[in-house]
Structure 1
Amino acid sequence: MKTLSGLLFFCLFLTALSKTYVGEDTYEYPIFGEPDFTAEEIPQEIRDSQQNMNINMQTLPMMIMPNGGQTDSRVEYLVKILGSGNIFFTKEDIVWSINNSVMKVTYPEGNLQNLDHGEELEGKVNFMIGNDRDKWVIGLPTYGHISYNGVWKGIQLRHKIQDGSFLSEWHVERGSDYKKIKIEVDEWKDLQLDENGQLLYKNTTGNVFLIEKPPLFIQGETRLNGNYQIKDNIISFKINDPKFVPKKKLVITG
């Protein structure tokens, strides 16, 4: 799902230095601070990693990276959307922190404990916060995707960056049932589908936002007709296509 495109997600802007999610617990997610050092004080290993990247950072609006100590310990991985926001992946939820808005995505009755990363990319990331070098995080890898394996039996949730967009894909293995997929996001209300099958929601101030266009359902080389469905503010999927073969491998992208 362009998930939440992210799955769900829309045009918001970022606030830069830190984000806070306040729910039943309070998550503090410090991301960047003001460095108290001069350019000449940057360690050589950081200079080397910058020189060896061979990547113009302006072409990398998003990066998937592990938590190496630069943020709350409950976060396993995060996506830094340069100039826009942050997405935090834990073993309990996914937290979007964008433009002073925070949304927590959960999967009722799903299991987020098995979280892993894909191939390592060329770029490295450095976090230099304050003037205590022992607290700097240097040379973090970046990844092509991260995956929650076995959210439900035979169902994987994969997040990746493709062509400048953040995508979410549900990979449903042969013999598994896509109807088990349930998505819930706090702070949402009045979820609805418009006449084009686009998923909309109304925030607490009454503004209506497009969350996502209709999802794509693919079996082999066949694209199937389907859409979101909403019940009790829970998002799921519905395939209404005679070409659909139940229990055959399926990929859902949105």
Structure 2
Amino acid sequence: MKISTLLVLFSFFLTIFSKTYVGEDTYEYPLFGEADFATEEIPQEIRNSQQNMNINMQTLPMMIMPNRGQTDSRVEYLVKILGSGNIFFTKEDIVWSINNSVMRLTYPEGNLKDLDHGEELEGKVNFMIGNDRDNWVIGLPTYEHIAYNDVWKGIQLRHKIEDTRFVSEWHIERGRDYKKIKIEVDEWKDLQIDDNGQLLYKNTTGNVFLIENPPVFIQGETHLNGNYQIKDNIITFKINDPKFVPKKKLIITG
């Protein structure tokens, strides 16, 4: 199937599945409500694509997009995970709203004010809810990544999508200390590291969700041994490798 058709389908599915996901009282980031189309109002290109709705939704792309009025004004960017939920990026926190479970990440003593995006991609996203075209958000750009610059001096937090997988990357400049990185999760979440080194959390209903894959530490062409650490709901990193050079640039991926 042509990529243009996939993007049309993705736009259509966003329209149908843009539900409200509610977090804590002060962290409610709903998207537009349920779609309520009159058939004649659906653009012809989207109506034509409905015959292909048997496509596996899991093969459709996640996309990083800006907030242009389709959700709470505190949100700068969001990732729509089709059929599962959303990830919201603000200048104070990152909120995962997945399968009606909400997880809020903050960065103690860190700064999230400097937030920008990477290269713009070809794909566009439309939110078209209801019959009033004035309330539609059309032609949203999509980006290769978004980044929080200088969360700590010389330490950038970057998020991107690789092969439909959401990836977090820490870029630590030469001479900066990776041990400054601290990630705090809502206190009522049960954080754990499994036998494979994956970072998991358990919500109040007992469901366990993967937050991050085992961390990968890279200096130049060298992969270093290391792992997550958890203390008092604070996530940090620990490198256990004699090849580690503290003053050399470091990338941590999860």
User: TM-score range, shorter-chain basis?
Assistant: 0.7 to 0.9
Residues 59-85 of structure 1 show CA distances to partners (whole Å, capped at 9, x for unaligned) of 433011000111111110000111221
Match of 2:34 in 1: 33
Q: For 1:122 and 1:185, locate their aligned partners in 2 and report how far apart those are by CA, in whole Å.
A: 34
Q: Which has the higher helix share?
A: 2
1:240 and 2:205 are equivalent in the alignment: no
Residues 99-140 of structure 1 show CA distances to partners (whole Å, capped at 9, x for unaligned) of 111111111111100110111111111111122211111110
Change (3 A) 1:16 1:71: closer
Which moves more between the two structures, 232-241 or 183-192?
183-192
Match of 1:90 in 2: 90
User: Deviation above 4 Å: which 4+ runs of structure 1?
Assistant: 56-59, 206-210
Match of 1:160 in 2: 160
Q: Given residue 20 of structure 2, which amino acid in structure 1 is its aligned partner?
A: S
Q: For 1:208 and 1:117, locate their aligned partners in 2 and report how far apart those are by CA, in whole Å.
A: 31
Match of 1:198 in 2: 198
The answer on whether the counterparts of 1:91 and 1:112 sit within 8 Å (CA) in structure 2 is: yes
Number of residues of Structure 1 aligned to a counterpart in Structure 2: 230
Residues 174-228 of structure 1 show CA distances to partners (whole Å, capped at 9, x for unaligned) of 1111000000111544433344433333332445554433200000000000001
Counterparts of 1:53-202 in structure 2, within 5 Å, are: 59-202=59-202
Change (3 A) 1:63 1:31: farther
The answer on whether the counterparts of 1:187 and 1:203 sit within 8 Å (CA) in structure 2 is: no
Change (3 A) 1:32 1:207: closer
Change (3 A) 1:227 1:125: same
The answer on whether the counterparts of 2:77 and 2:88 sit within 8 Å (CA) in structure 1 is: yes
Residues 136-166 of structure 1 show CA distances to partners (whole Å, capped at 9, x for unaligned) of 1111001111001110000000000001100
Q: 1:21 aligns with which of 2, 20, 23?
A: 23
Q: Given residue 123 of structure 2, which amino acid in structure 1 is its aligned partner?
A: G
* Identity %, equivalent residues: 77
Per the normalisation by structure 1, the TM-score is: 0.82
Q: For 1:88 and 1:72, locate their aligned partners in 2 and report how far apart those are by CA, in whole Å.
A: 10
Q: For 2:69 and 2:207, locate their aligned partners in 1 and report how far apart those are by CA, in whole Å.
A: 36
The answer on whether the counterparts of 2:215 and 2:253 sit within 8 Å (CA) in structure 1 is: yes
Per the normalisation by structure 2, the TM-score is: 0.82
Q: For 2:189 and 2:78, locate their aligned partners in 1 and report how far apart those are by CA, in whole Å.
A: 26
Q: For 2:18 and 2:221, locate their aligned partners in 1 and report how far apart those are by CA, in whole Å.
A: 42
Q: For 2:140 and 2:207, locate their aligned partners in 1 and report how far apart those are by CA, in whole Å.
A: 38
Using CA pairs under 8 Å that are at least 6 residues apart, name the structure with larger relative contact order, 1 or 2: 1
Unaligned runs of 5+ in 2: 1-16, 50-54
Instruction: Report the alpha carbon displacement of residue 242 of structure 1 after superposing the two structures with TM.
Output: 0.4
